[in-house]
Structure 1
Amino acid sequence: MNVHFIAIGGAAMHNLALALHNKGYKVTGSDDEIFDPSKSRLEAKGLLPQTFGWYPEKITQNLDAIVLGMHAKADNPELLKAQELGLKIYSYPEFLYEQAKDKTRVVIGGSHGKTTITSMILHVMHYHDRDVDYMVGAQLEGFDVMVKLTESNDFMVLEGDEYLSSPIDRRPKFHLYKPNIALLSGIAWDHINVFPTYENYVEQFSIFVNSIVRGGSINYNEEDAEVKRVVEASENQIRKIPYQTPKYKVEDGETLLETPEGPMPIEVFGAHNLNNLAGAKWICQHMGIDEDDFYEAISTFKGASKRLEKIAENSKSVAYKDFAHSPSKVEATTKAVKEQYSDRTLVACLELHTYSSLNAEFLKEYKGALDAADTAVVFYSPHAVEIKKLEEVTHEQIADAFEREDLIIYTNPKDFKDFLFSQNFENKSLLLMSSGNYGGLDFDDVTKLL
């Protein structure tokens, strides 16, 4: 099969391109800019475009399919040529569904936790040598790719993102997978540039539950009131199986999970991650892994990349970075680190970096999100606001939103870095939360602070 990728350099797109190449497809692609790690990974497989830009002449009748990435615009010259020729154009999730339509599709949805839960499931399967197809949104230890496709595997595990499918397909990705087995971890308003009201956002999850194949099943976090309401209100003829956070305790900086065999030490920590673990256990059991085998495997799970990732540690200090940016993730992650190291001072630094977090109206959702931190710092770049063509967010709006009188706010990358590097981190925990890099912070330098 001959497949061309428009915007091949994206995190998801390049991984799908690599998966198809590994499956024996002929893959080509274009993009106007490609950065590492996508660039070097594509280059290693001979898939990196020779020159960057859009070339309509690459689009011919010889192509069996076009995969269109979100980075491309609706007036992309290659897309227009493909439409003119009447070629089959797929969004990323549509193409994944085509690859998985004859398999048992396992889809993990939710505003938060979906990458971690998907990663936990894949870790357990890998540990027990159970080969499955998959698509996950983070690089995992022991896995060389984020997308795997085969002809032979029975299951495909998909991280179900609620963001849009492509520039010409405005449906959320997870509406297209039609799961046989599904999970819903949590609902907390996000992506306000696409879903301008809370009600509109929640509706997407109702559609997801109703898209589950008749006779299928959904495991859902019953501790999340909105998840519980959405799942239980659905009239879809599916099995509905609730789960909740299992019992655990923290002793001397180690989390012990209660199991039928007694307390078991695990690498991940925080109530939100234990809740994720409970959901992952159910899904693995649906996929043929018994409880004892799940516990044996999950005890070695260290976490997904950029999800509470430990970047430095000594006997008296520890530093983590986390992808957390939405209010619910920030609150859960901050509480988790404080609980794990309760006898240490927690310095929590949040970068407001996404469309939602830089929206003055949405900011109030962050009320209380950093309350578990002893020292709370917020950084945002006015330049990022400018690039995203949003109205300027003021110092006062941030202070009012978090409702914390001692909140430290920086808008200058140098000032933030000076603050960070002037700290004495003895008997402290450092938590850096961002989907960006604080205006150019080198995380390797941070490891030298401890």
Structure 2
Amino acid sequence: MAAASEKTDGLEHEEETSKSSTFKELGVCDVLCEACEQLKWKEPSKIQKEAIPVALTGKDIIGLAETGSGKTGAFALPILQKLLENPQRLFGLILTPTRELAFQISEQFEALGSSIGVKCAVIVGGIDNMSQALMLAKKPHIIIATPGRLVDHLENTKGFNLRALKFLVMDEADRILNMDFEQEVDKILKVIPRERTTYLYSATMTKKVQKLQRASLQNPVKVEVSSKYQTVEKLQQFYIFIPVKVKDVYLVYILNEMAGNSFMVFCSTCANTQRVALMLRNLGLNAIPLHGQMTQSKRLGALNKFKSKSRSILIATDVASRGLDIPHVDVVLNFDIPTHSKDYIHRVGRTARAGRAGKAITFVTQYDVELYQRIEHLIGKQLDLYKTEEEEVMVLMERVSEAQRHAKMEMSEMENKKKRGKTMDNDDSEEATGVRKKMKTKRKH
């Protein structure tokens, strides 16, 4: 019976809020409304309209929202408003699946809370434990963490505990659980107060998420922006069917044909990401890799170069397919088709954000047909064929083969350096691009 009343609750709430078009009308206080204006948030997104009024009543929330829907604002604004009413250190904890997402959420909290002096700490792997322990000793208001590293500090950092915590947010909960953080999440739930407010945000409602919901939320209100797997309306989606051996040539052709746009190219492995980036650089294209084997500072560096538009092509693994707010991606290329169809939604969600148009092109080889059919089945529509002239594409064959050869040599050089114990990080330095090597060979000729 309770569940039924919650559902109707949500529906009434939907009718009420569909009219609201300002943060003030949702109940957000003046200081935070000003912060939204400074961030150029003109009006609340759908999930913000649904979630903020419920959150301000103090209820637990399960939020189902597609990627790029503004859900960080949906939980950050109510938490900051409650913090203003009841100032306290170690007030809120946000758990996220990836380091990049943690830094991004922290940026939003700091931007929204800059006028009220909010202090945040990002606690993730890949960064020195000691400096994090010092940050925690200063007792920030908000901690944004990946589960593994937070458990590490809860167990080993003297004097650090979350016994006074008032808010817990699990963002991208489906992915936290897919990455096998269940044990860590259980440990965290055991050491934080039961009397707290919990928001669970997820793009998809899996069995694991339902189990987590039962364990950690009390009479939650469900706010849902898209019940079906959706890709944004303004997104043009294409596929291109090609033999696997000419994939690189087609990639270079499309990048050249659509030059002037910003691209995200998704690969399935770290090694392929690195190889493609090196190959494109050898052809003089402005590409930068982003994958899990890079150090944290290199990942953030790569992301910043792409965000600031000093690089126009980001070659990435699925580490970047979710939650990263890169505002200006024009085209998403699925160079390697995703093995999990849901990842397709997240990848293409990098473009056509915030009402803008975008394109997504998926490469389908003879080995990918089944995976491709699964994607069409999931999104409930057929993709259009991206038309190319084979003769035009094949003109590039020779140059691409040469660039592939260079990239292969550079990859094995990196491998050898690693074996010799020199930690050669797959970075964005010019040495890693073969540029100098090519300059030298040109001089010899």
Q: With structure 2 as the length reference, what TM-score do the two structures score?
A: 0.33
Q: Counting strand residues as a fraction of each chain, which structure ranks higher?
A: 1
Identify the structure with the greater helix proportion: 2
Larger gyration radius, structure 1 or structure 2? 2
Q: Which has the higher contact order (CA 8 A, sep 6+)?
A: 2
